[in-house]
Structure 1
Amino acid sequence: MKEQSYGKFAKFLHWVMALMIIVLIAVGTYMAGLDKADPNKMLLVGMHKSFGVIFMQFAILRVIWSRLNNSPKLPDVLASWEKLLSKTITGSLYLLMLAIPFSGYAMTNLFGYPVSLFGLIDLPVLFGKNTEMALLAKQAHFLLVYTLMAALFAHITGALKHRFLDKPEADVLPRMMPIKPRI
């Protein structure tokens, strides 16, 4: 079963990024609802951006790692449409994990600000100030997050379906989690 499992580093990236996604979405949603005069808003915005930058670096590393290392093959018992759907959702997740932080970075620059890493390092400004484009980047950022949530729902639902509703050979959860395969 070892050859049908992801490696330790891939699992580490998967679960650290899963946790970061949950926190980034929760904090992003909370801070978006705060009044502009709330002193906590700017602190949360700065932390959200800093962790978004770190998340983007993890996402880039994850894409590189996935290209250099073979992923376990999907179980043969899965229908061809399930394999296609799995690959489509996985590809969408990778794309979204890059697009969301990039749209946040672009939004910040387009509103006329540098992206700062914990207030210690200002990252390069990639886009000049353009309020109209900033508003589009903001809309894209929110839309991409909602799309990510839908893709995550499909990803988790699929894994649980294969674990609890399909034949034991279809169980993909042990590939990424420290649980025993169904027998």
Structure 2
Amino acid sequence: MTGIRDAEFKYGAVTKVLHWGMALMLLTLVVVGSYMTGLDKADPSRLQLMGMHKSFGAIFMQLAVFRVIWSRISARPQLPEVLSGWEKQLSRTITALLYILMLAVPFSGMAMSNFSGFPVSLFGLVEFPMVIAKNPEMAGLAKQAHVAMVYALMGAIILHVAGALKHRYLDDPKADVLPRMTSLKPRV
């Protein structure tokens, strides 16, 4: 049974729920965001989707902040000793990049919205304060940054998944990190 907190060789329930919940939410945000931007600007469903996208993006950002805090107060499992130095460094770099982008992507979305003169609201119930003044030129730059960082985040996720699969199927069984975050049994 998995405990709430992370342990020396396994992630705890909080980390697992955050990991898989945020992965699903991120995938949904990317799919909906891509679909919504392809709709005609006059299409009423575009505005509805945009509102939902912003609301879930704001939730994602709060979860990312919580995840950063949680990663600092809950001891993480150590990387397997059988990994080479460059593999450990690459893993730490990709993980840091994932955390940075999980915060930067929603922030750039909020900036894009504010620069366009619109607040971000949470399902129309709570409106976040406008922290940036309207500036159409900066809105365009924020949009470019948002899109570029989404692609960077998707690339980092692909590398993250590829690394986990490499350690599971191609490396020494002691390098298998997948059981830490899943219910898979370790390789023997």
Name the TM-score class by shorter chain: over 0.9
Report the alpha carbon displacement of residue 156 of structure 1 after superposing the two structures with TM: 0.2
Give the structure 2 partner of residue 46 of structure 1: 51
Q: TM-score, normalised by structure 1?
A: 0.98
Deviates more, 1:117-126 or 1:158-167: 117-126
Give the structure 1 partner of residue 28 of structure 2: 23
Report the alpha carbon displacement of residue 39 of structure 1 after superposing the two structures with TM: 1.2
Supply the distance in 1 between the matched residues of 2:66 and 2:41 (Cα, whole angstroms): 35
Supply the distance in 2 between the matched residues of 1:167 and 1:64 (Cα, whole angstroms): 32
SS at match of 1:142: helix
Supply the distance in 1 between the matched residues of 2:31 and 2:50 (Cα, whole angstroms): 12
Alignment of 1:59-70 (within 5 A): 59-70=64-75
- Structure 1: 5+ residue stretches without partners: none
Identity across matched positions, percent: 62
Q: 1:175 is matched with which residue: 165, 173, 180? A: 180
Give the structure 2 partner of residue 121 of structure 1: 126
The answer to whether the Cα contact below 8 Å between 2:115 and 2:134 also exists between their aligned partners in 1 is yes
Q: 2:155 is matched with which residue: 147, 150, 157? A: 150
Q: Where in structure 1 do 4 or more consecutive aligned residues deviate above 4 Å?
A: none
The answer to whether the Cα contact below 8 Å between 2:113 and 2:119 also exists between their aligned partners in 1 is yes
The answer to whether the Cα contact below 8 Å between 2:8 and 2:78 also exists between their aligned partners in 1 is no
- Structure 2: 5+ residue stretches without partners: none
C-alpha RMSD over aligned residues: 1.0
Q: Deviations over 1:95-115 (max 9, x none)?
A: 000000000000000000111
Supply the distance in 2 between the matched residues of 1:38 and 1:112 (Cα, whole angstroms): 20
Supply the distance in 2 between the matched residues of 1:76 and 1:3 (Cα, whole angstroms): 13
Supply the distance in 1 between the matched residues of 2:130 and 2:73 (Cα, whole angstroms): 31
Report the alpha carbon displacement of residue 3 of structure 1 after superposing the two structures with TM: 3.2
Report the alpha carbon displacement of residue 5 of structure 1 after superposing the two structures with TM: 0.2
Q: Deviations over 1:30-70 (max 9, x none)?
A: 00100001111000000000000000000000000000111
The answer to whether the Cα contact below 8 Å between 2:18 and 2:67 also exists between their aligned partners in 1 is yes
Q: TM-score, normalised by structure 2?
A: 0.96
SS at match of 1:3: coil
Letter of the 1:39 partner, please give it.
P
Report the alpha carbon displacement of residue 174 of structure 1 after superposing the two structures with TM: 0.6
Letter of the 2:118 partner, please give it.
Y
Give the structure 1 partner of residue 111 of structure 2: 106
The answer to whether the Cα contact below 8 Å between 2:8 and 2:75 also exists between their aligned partners in 1 is no
1:134 aligns with 2:149: no
Letter of the 2:162 partner, please give it.
T
